[in-house]
Amino acid sequence: QVTVVDKCRDSMQPVLCVGLVCLDQVTVVDKFPTEDTIQRSRDQYKVRGGNANNSCNVLAKLGFKSAFLGTLATGLEADWVVEGMRKDGVMVEDCPRYAGHTCPNSVVLTNIVTGSRTIIHTNLGLPELTLEDFKKVELRDFSWVHVEGRNKANVLDILAYLDQEKKVKFSVEVEKVNRGFEDFIPFGDVVFISKDVAQHHGHHSMDKAVAHFHPLLKAGGRLVIAWGESGACGWEAGEGFFMCPAFSPPGGVVDTLGAGDTFNAAVIGCLAGGLGLRRSVELGCQVAGRKVGFRGFGGLAEDAKDIIKDALNS
């Protein structure tokens, strides 16, 4: 018998994530360092990072086909990044590559006691994806397009084009403060807003945040706001405001790096698979709760994948 997730693999078109992939150098500590001191780390490793890359990786682990679209550098680090994406089942064939540029990278401090992560990002001028790059993609080849909030002018061009073409459902992230990314809100079919952005606007509860942002949506637009350890909430016409609880990992928090991208990816995959918004957000909370219980995303291919399979097959 072929399950729904098997059908997603075999016949459902890929989900396209547009944005950044970078190299993360993660240093694990048991306390955050004091400035101008020396302390030993507990561990160190390198992984791929970037919101769009992470979401692609999660989608693949959950059984969905995924494709990444973003600019790439050349050289050993960039080749390592691309090889890893392909090994994880992420399609990267449409990405423009720029010779002579350095792969963007992040230095990440992960505190194993608190579960926090502190990121210092470096991008030494790798060009951003342009509308002209994006137009080379056949939108009908995808079941969903998710756009990471990055270079404001370029992303606005891409969102306006998606809204005008109306060939595929799409979502956008409004994650960073003081970047003017709130201008993305009137475009997306689904808009993901971060707790940081909500609180930056003075809203310290989910219901007040939703009340502020949902009038900014386009007709038919839907809203999702992740609220960390308190879960997440959403809004859509007809349903109105709703909340979903967080799910704590059985063994405690180990690694929160990429938890937000995991949540977004799970929600997007479920929506692309035909589930409603409330159910998709609930599943996003469950999958993100599993993810913070282990390092990286590999563990999602086990029980988290089954959570999605069961939901799509019910």
**Tens of pLDDT, residues 209-267:** 999 999 999 999 999 999 999 999 999 999 999 999 999 998 888 888 899 999 999 99
Tokens of 201: 């606007």
Residue 277 clears pLDDT 50, i.e. is over it: yes
175 Cβ neighbours under 8 A, 6+ residues apart: 51, 149, 181, 192, 193, 194, 196, 197, 260
- Residue 2's pLDDT band (cuts 50, 70, 90): very low
- Residue 90's pLDDT band (cuts 50, 70, 90): very high
The predicted pLDDT at position 6 comes to 53
Burial 275-290 (b: 16+ CB within 10 A, else e): bebeebbbbbbbbbbb
Question: pTM of the entire structure?
Answer: 0.93
Tell me the percentage of the chain whose pLDDT exceeds 70: 97
Residue 7 clears pLDDT 70, i.e. is over it: no
Average pLDDT over residues 70-82: 96
The predicted pLDDT at position 250 comes to 84
The predicted pLDDT at position 4 comes to 45
pLDDT per residue over 124-183, tens digit each? 999 999 999 999 999 999 999 999 999 999 999 999 999 999 999 999 999 999 999 999
Tell me the percentage of the chain whose pLDDT exceeds 90: 88
Average pLDDT over residues 291-298: 91
Average pLDDT over residues 201-215: 98
Please tell me the distance from the alpha carbon of residue 13 to that of residue 65, in angstroms, as a whole number.
7
- Residue 314's pLDDT band (cuts 50, 70, 90): confident
Can you say how many angstroms the Cα of residue 191 is from the centroid of all Cα atoms in its chain?
12
DSSP 139-188: GGG-SEEEE---SHHHHHHHHHHHHHH-SS-EEEEE--SSS-GGGGTTT-
